[in-house]
Amino acid sequence: MSSNRSSFTGKIGFVLAAAGSAVGLGNIWRFPYLAAKYGGGIFLLVYIALSLTFGFSLMVAEIAIGRKTQLSPMGAFRALDKRFAFVGVLGAIVPSIILPYYSVIGGWVMKYAYGFITGDAFNMAQDSYFGGFIGQTWEPLVWFALFIGITAIIVLFGVEKGIEKVSKVMMPVLVVLILFIAIFTLCTVDGALDGLIYYIKPDFSKFSIMTVVAAMGQLFYSMSLAMGIMITFGSYMKKDISIEKSTKQIEIFDTGIAFLAGLMIIPAVYAFSGGDPEALGKGPSLMFGALPKIFANMPAGTVIGVVFFVMVFLAALTSSISLMETVVSTIQDKFGIGRKASCFIVLGISIAFGVPSSLGYSAWGGVKILGLQILDFFDFASNNILMPIVAFLTCIFVGYILKPKAITDEVELEGNRLKHKKTFNIMIKYVAPLCILIILISSVLDVFGIVKI
């Protein structure tokens, strides 16, 4: 994998490719429901603070590790220190857990796009529609199969470049559309302004350790951190491109879209439910319940609904491709098998885990793992347990084994200067590992019901 490494041309190539992986369902579907659930403004504040300090340092470290070694995550850790090779392997397990349930949600998005195209907009705006849809056994499974199938075909034939090009044109359109929907809601829906306040004004009484746990898990997820993706991207990055600047651009892009998605969904949910905490804490179904209602009240709402869901589908697809690509290439590297075989193995694993995630809302509705629905369990296990472990080990590795200087030297190649060197050192060596440890312990205690936080 290390030989013949292609690299991104131009400065913007790297940022766009990394942003294509980063921007996806995490921003549009996951961020708004977490922000709504964990107190609105306070979640937003914690998220932004973490992104500027912690997310920044970790992303710089990962990209620099990749560029320094020119290797895939597993190879990179192994090359730098044999004892840490397992971190690369652990990192590769994360996307294999995410991909199956990500594709279940991707299937829901396809269903909604299809529904708007076939003129089902009125029905979809009804309260019971979404529950009725995921409560069926077969239909969600078919959409899931379609989504994962399309992802696999693209990865198998290696045509992701084409898709990425399409999505890069779509991305700005998506931003404009989200902004338009948000402004429309704020101007026309009664009570939406109260919802806006809920979303942007921090209410410190709503703060708890779980706010930080959720915000940090979301940060990893949204920025595709702690799973080797950024190491892979870094390995393709040219030496004369500024890691610091690129990281900032990716962060602004990723966080900006998440913020706008929250702006589009939270005030609407707040208004429709009169600020009912139960509606706000609804979780994974939040976006699917709220958006069709907004579209129903909008002039040309059906057309906008079609365009919106098709674009979200594309954003999800570029992310699922990069998830699958990582797992496929790791299996190829590790077991020395061909791309095709590896692709089929990953498809098999995804179906094996995706089917239960989907059935968790219907036939297997009674099954709970650690008190969580099956899909929520996979989400929790990857975001709140495995990713913090990988991030913690990465910090320890960079802070104490490799030493931050190795990273800052890499960042400062070709006359680039790392402006926030001090922050970086302190974050990586002390603040980040300590915070992650506290967070990891709290989420384990919480889920096992030892302490309710």
Chain residues that interact with ligand PFF, rule: CB under 6 A: 21-22, 24-27, 95, 98, 221-222, 224, 227, 229, 319, 322-323, 326
Strand ranges in 342-452 using DSSP code E only, listed in sequence order: none
**Residue 449, exposed/middle/buried by CB under 10 A (0-12, 13-18, 19+)?**
exposed
Complex with ligand PFF: residue 53 or 222, whichever CB lies closer: 222
With contact defined as beta carbons under 8 Å apart, do 1 and 169 qualify? Answer: no
Rounded Cα–Cα distance for residues 137 and 338 (Å) = 35
Q: Which of 28, 189, 22 is nearest to 112 (CA)?
A: 28
Rounded Cα–Cα distance for residues 65 and 52 (Å) = 20
DSSP sequence for 27-96:
IIIIHHHHHHHTTTHHHHHHHHHHIIIIIHHHHHHHHHHHHHHTS-HHHHHHHH-GGGHHHHHHHHHHHH
CB atoms within 10 A of CB 239: 12
Complex with ligand PFF: residue 98 or 150, whichever CB lies closer: 98
Complex with ligand PFF: residue 217 or 399, whichever CB lies closer: 217
Residue nearest to ligand PFF (CB): 26
Least distance from ligand PFF to the Cβ atom of residue 413, Å: 26
Complex with ligand PFF: residue 56 or 129, whichever CB lies closer: 56
Complex with ligand PFF: residue 192 or 219, whichever CB lies closer: 219
With contact defined as beta carbons under 8 Å apart, do 92 and 326 qualify? Answer: yes
Complex with ligand PFF: residue 71 or 196, whichever CB lies closer: 71
Complex with ligand PFF: residue 67 or 293, whichever CB lies closer: 67
Complex with ligand PFF: residue 246 or 425, whichever CB lies closer: 246
Least distance from ligand PFF to the Cβ atom of residue 59, Å: 12
Least distance from ligand PFF to the Cβ atom of residue 157, Å: 19
Least distance from ligand PFF to the Cβ atom of residue 306, Å: 21
Long-range Cβ contacts of 268-274 (<8 Å, 24+ apart): 268/185, 268/189, 268/192, 268/195, 268/293, 268/294, 269/36, 269/195, 270/36, 270/191, 270/192, 270/194, 270/195, 270/198, 270/199, 271/185, 271/189, 271/190, 271/191, 271/192, 271/194, 271/195, 272/189, 274/191
Rounded Cα–Cα distance for residues 78 and 31 (Å) = 34
